[in-house]
Amino acid sequence: MNTPVEGFSKLSKAEKIDWIVTHYTQDSVASKKLLERYWNEDPKIQQVHDEFIENTLSNYYLPFAVAPNFLINGKFHVIPMVIEESSVVAAASKAAKFWLDRGGFSSEILGAEKVGQVHFMYHGSEIKLQQFFAEVHPKLLKSVASITKNMEKRGGGINGIELRNLNDKIAGYHQLHCTFETLDAMGANFINSCLEQFAKTLTSEAKIYQDFTSDESQIEVVMSILSNYVPDCLVKAEVSCPVSELGEAGISGQEFAQKIVRAIEIAKAEPHRAVTHNKGVMNGVDAVVLATGNDFRAIEAGVHAYAAKGGHYSSLTHAKIEDGIFTFWIELPLAIGTVGGLTSLHPMVKLTLEILGHPSAKELMQIVAVAGLAQNFAALRSLVTTGIQKGHMKMHLMNMLNQMGATENEKQQLVAYFKDHTVTNASVKEALEKIQSQ
């Protein structure tokens, strides 16, 4: 019977498990064994996992895979990916092999600036506020000197603080729009610490500013927080080759290139298609972001906002044919890090970064963008030739057989059978039953 609980967070891990399985599962013994089965056998490693978040009961596993043969800026990479969706890793690997024979991927950083804002209300004279900001600006920077000291030693820090008037959106609404360089750190804690100190300095200095009236001195800070929209923390990834090198599956290179360009034009024009188109990009992006211990929710939010920067939601990828050359590229805003957070705590994240050659944040941005571009190319390649279901359902076949309880021998027979037959849930079930009946 479901019931509320007092002080759940104060219970021991064992007590939490006992309470959950007793009140919220049908078979408490089996449920408890299941949770315990996914604990790490090393108690020290399990404790590290337990302390990532609150109320931890067990670990939730996702497949950790690699996609080989990525040639990026002349350097070979094997890209770790964490994802549950069938065919994603296979598609990325296939795209990597395709472009390996055509010069590989190129990538470059277009910007690395991150954003944070102090949102506040002020209803007085705008001229006075601007004069106050000019006077308080150096004090804002001085107030965070202890926070920025180490970051500045490494070449990062605060790039700028801008006063913005947004009265046209909300009466009295203003903000300090702040930009940062956080180097190899994603920088969320650094940015938020600076912003909260800015807020304190802003309000305290306003109270003693001689040109403010008593009402004007009461600046009300609403919140201070980084933004996950980072259009100036941008990376570009690209592939290109002569159109003549693109022919396959009975389609000429010119026709294949035109089909890809047209498919992207549709994704740029039609939001329903653009969402699915970009979801394919994020299959690759999120898988690498997860494997490297970065925040895929923040990346998703920022990327999709960027996809709508022109006023409507559109394709993240682009393609063109010029002078017989096909070019396919992507630009993505990516605020990610290779130090801090889980990068020094999660054993699998450490291994991922080792496999990637201990990249800097900028190098990782390029790898992530390439993974997204490769994934999108693989999807478009299937869509404009054989169709998406043929490859996807073949990869999904093993999941279906496992759900149906097929033996290893039955799996081998059916994998061979469906090399030449269409995979559907009904067809797989029928074929399995036929084997079992014999």
Angle between helices 145-153 and 188-208 (to 10 degrees): 140
CA–CA separation, 66 and 69 (whole Å) = 10
b/e per residue, 198-229, with b = 16+ CB within 10 A? bbebbbebbeebeebeeebbebebeebebbbb
Check: CB of residue 195 under 8 Å from CB of residue 117.
yes
By DSSP bridging, strand 157-165 and strand 173-181 are antiparallel
The closest alpha carbon to 46, from 347, 353, 351, belongs to: 347
Q: Which two tokens stand for residue 144?
A: 């965070």
Find residue 158's DSSP bridge partners.
180
Amino acid of residue 139: K
Residue with tokens 């590989």: 104
Give 212-269 as a DSSP string: S-TTTT--EEEEEEEES--TTSEEEEEEEEEGGG--BTTB-HHHHHHHHHHHHHHHHH
Check: CB of residue 157 under 8 Å from CB of residue 109.
no
> Which letter does DSSP use for residue 185 in this model?
B
Residue 381: helix, strand or coil by DSSP? Answer: helix
Return all residues near 177 (Cβ < 8 A) that are at least 6 apart: 115, 117, 161, 162, 163, 164
CA–CA separation, 397 and 411 (whole Å) = 9
Question: Which residues are known to be catalytic?
Answer: 85, 279, 295, 392
